[in-house]
Amino acid sequence: MPAVRDPLVPARQPAIDALRGVLVLLVVTHHLNLRLRLANSPAAHHLPAALVRLIGWTGYQSVIVFFVVSGFLITSLSLVRWGALDRLQPRQFYLLRLARIGPCLFALLAVLAALHLAGVRGYVIDEKRATLGRALLAAIGMHLNWLEGHRGYLPGSWDVLWSLSVEETFYLAFPLVCLWLRSRGALLSLLLALIAFGPLSRMGLSDQDPWSDYAWLSCTDGMAFGCLAALAAARWRPSRPIRSLLVVAGFAAVLLVVWFRREAAELGLSSTGLHVSVLEAGAALLLIGIRHGATPRLSWICAPLRWLGRCSYEVYLTHMFVVLSAMALAPTNLVHSAWVPAWYAGVVCASGALGWLVARGYSEPLNRALRRRWLEGKLAP
């Protein structure tokens, strides 16, 4: 008997799950690379330098693409649930987001607060940057990106929450803006304005690192690109050759930024903040293409990425526990050992397993329970 899908939980999109799996994998390897440099290991001498950079230094770019995916999915799901963005119900929208984001976020903050108070190494907040209460307020109040941008980085498990502050701010504004503007033309104008302001913000209007990267306007253009891609995908179903062309063009734009970084810098993209815009535009084109099935049927080779992508939120929030534990257990001479690739693989697998356990045993059941309690019978399947 086929499984009955819960109408309050959106259907999975395998290609997008696989993309999210790649993104969260690169976030994990980036945070490990900050502590265990892949480039210094013997294995790196046998790999292309661009591949080593991709594995070790693509965390920020991956988060940016996550923003594009978030804008795409939230717009697509809103169109499915309410038929049009100007009919969106804010209360229902906020409860859906709270049911998905809240359980893991509040549990993580409780654990981090306990570890800080217990004085566990790697989890104690430098009092020169923030008190525990200030960090908790910033995380819950959607401005941890501002706090880190102006006072410096918090411990690793706190630092990942900067991007959540950006996303939550977007989710807070999204339904209100859709209802306020009403007109499709006005909404498109606002999205294009956000895309135009993104590079200006990243050029360093503030000289305080990392604020130029963490600022709301430095990241919201990615969500704007995602929204535009979702609106285009909802109204336009291109032919198969066009879909393939969109995927190829999108992949080429992403590759330019994450693989050919020197060439992108020589073109002046990095100094003007446009390298991120090119990355976001490429991701948007990819999403339109794969949304309409331009990619071939995903084989078993992509199954681990789809699995990782399905619990990418949980992996993202919890992977620093694995990274920090792995470094605490690492031999002192590991960086010069041939075992570095195996260490990376182990951290990725353990991060995925932890995220899956949290999703399967905690966040997914609670998400479903909260949605049924708050919204059952009020949303279309």
pLDDT reading at 326 higher than 90: yes
* Dist CA 278 CA 296 (whole Å): 25
Can you tell me the mean pLDDT for 44-55? 93
Cα-based angle 196, 198, 204 (whole degrees, multiple of 5): 125
pLDDT digits (tens, 9 = 90+) for 296-310: 555 667 889 999 999
Can you tell me the mean pLDDT for 10-15? 74
Quote the percentage of the chain above a pLDDT of 90.
78
* Dist CA 350 CA 356 (whole Å): 10
Q: DSSP character for 104?
A: H
- Given this model, what pLDDT does residue 4 score? 38
- How would residue 163 be classed by pLDDT, with cut points 50, 70 and 90? very high
pTM higher than 0.85: yes
Mean pLDDT taken over the chain: 91
- How would residue 379 be classed by pLDDT, with cut points 50, 70 and 90? low
User: For the residues of 74-103, what is the DSSP string, one character each?
Assistant: HHHHHHHHHSSGGG--HHHHHHHHHHHHHH
Quote the percentage of the chain above a pLDDT of 70.
92
pLDDT digits (tens, 9 = 90+) for 183-217: 899 999 999 999 999 999 998 654 556 788 999 99
Question: Which comes out higher in pLDDT, residue 317 or 375?
Answer: 317
